[in-house]
Amino acid sequence: MRLKRLLALAAGLMLTTVTAWAQQGPPQAAQMQVALTMDDLPVHGPLPPGLTRAEVAHRVLAAFKGAGVAEVYGFVNAKGLADEGDDAAQVLALWRQAGYPLGNHVYAHDDLHGHDVNAFTAAVTADEAALTQYMGPGSGKNTDWHWLRFPYLHIGETPEKRREVAAFLKDHGYRVAEVTLSFNDYIYNAPYARCMAKDDQAAVARLRKSYLDRAAESLTIGRQQAQAVYGRDVPHVMLLHIGGFETVMLPELLSLMKAKGVAFVPLAKAEADPIYATNPDTPSNGTGSLLDREMTARNLPQPAHSADPSTWLDGLCR
């Protein structure tokens, strides 16, 4: 009797364990925190036939919402409003209706490298009219637009330049929206528009595969770089761009990230980590992600990565 009862107890325990496993899935690797950010609102890259800027925003926002992403900063080049009018204006309106915030990506996507600091800071200021229009009081939640994303991730070629810009940003209440994860998602937009115009679905399938492979690789590289520089994983910030191909790829990208243990977090939460208190005097040529720059500063070898697909992409669907 006693043995029988013990066996029944053991079977019950196993059943409970198996049921819990089935409900929760197998134990996961440690979660990777990632803040998603999207650059070049409202106008980025060529579009395939029939797609408008507003429709791109609508589909991109639906993908983020569908994946339960609570916050995605959209970084604005206000010149796009002057260039493309109401279609572009709808992008920013839709972004705000979704409850997502906007930040500064400099008026005309001005490049700090090769230009003087005064011209650059004037272009930062020129972006602010649009930000206050869409992010002012009464515009809903998430109204902190004082985040700057450097165009081309160029933070200044010299320590002097980096110090001057850092002083300007501090005076004007800005924080820098750093990037630790990027796979140059924007390079797929022009070939995607060309391949759709030719209705070359086989080529589009190859684009999709390359995009997802490189997205997955960027997560691995980000983790490896964080280990190499800081000896630990860190909360990450991923750079994406608001292009036509994202309307196709975002649902798959977000599922892939979730499957790899990513938890989506707000930008301010990720950047609360001390690694984001960067020093303008860190030896650097001012290019690449935060992790790229820190690797360079420490003379660390970059992790292995797949070949750059740019040449293949440039020749596709011509």
Judged by the rule CB under 5 A, the positions of this chain that interact with Zn ion are: 39-40, 151
- Answer whether 40's CB lies under 8 Å from 109's CB: yes
How near is the Cβ of 153 to Zn ion at its closest, in Å? 9
Tell how far CA 221 is from the center of its chain: 15
Closest CA to 107 of 119, 95, 89, 99: 119
The DSSP symbol for 114 reads T
Whole-angstrom CA distances from 60 to 29, 44, 64, 161 are 28, 13, 6, 36
Contacts of 223 (CB under 8 A, 6+ apart): 32, 233
| Nearer of residues 40 and 71 to Zn ion, judged by Cβ | 40
Whether residue 185 contacts residue 243, with contact meaning beta carbons closer than 8 Å, is answered with: yes
Which residues lie below 8 Å from residue 267, measured CB to CB, with a gap of 6+?
Answer: 35, 37, 71, 73, 147, 177, 237
Nearer to Zn ion, 32 or 155 (CB): 155
Question: Closest distance between Zn ion and the C-beta of residue 31, in Å?
Answer: 28
Instruction: Tell me the pairing of strands 236-241 and 102-104.
Output: unpaired
Distance of closest approach, residue 44 Cβ to Zn ion, in angstroms: 7
Residue nearest to Zn ion (CB): 39
Token pair for 34: 């990632």
Give the nearest distance from C-beta 140 to Zn ion in angstroms: 24
> Per the structure block, which two tokens stand in for 195?
């391949």
What type of residue is 266?
Answer: P
CB closer to Zn ion, 101 vs 151: 151
The H-assigned helical ranges of 67-184 are 79-97, 117-126, 128-135, 159-171
Comparing CB distances to Zn ion, the nearer of 104 and 284 is 104
Question: For residues 39 and 246, which CB has a smaller minimum distance to Zn ion in the complex?
Answer: 39
**How far apart are CB 165 and Zn ion at their closest, in Å?**
17
Beta partners for residue 241, in sequence order: 39
Q: Which is nearer to Zn ion, 21 or 152 (CB)?
A: 152
Closest of 4, 39, 285 to residue 148, by C-alpha:
39
Q: How far is the CB of 151 from Zn ion (least distance, A)?
A: 5
Q: CB of 18: closest distance to Zn ion in angstroms?
A: 49
By C-beta, is 226 or 240 nearer to Zn ion?
A: 240
What is the chain's alpha carbon radius of gyration, rounded to the nearest angstrom?
Answer: 22
Q: Which is nearer to Zn ion, 39 or 271 (CB)?
A: 39
60's CB contacts (< 8 A; 6+ apart) are 38, 242, 246, 247, 250
CB of 59 to Zn ion, least distance (A): 20
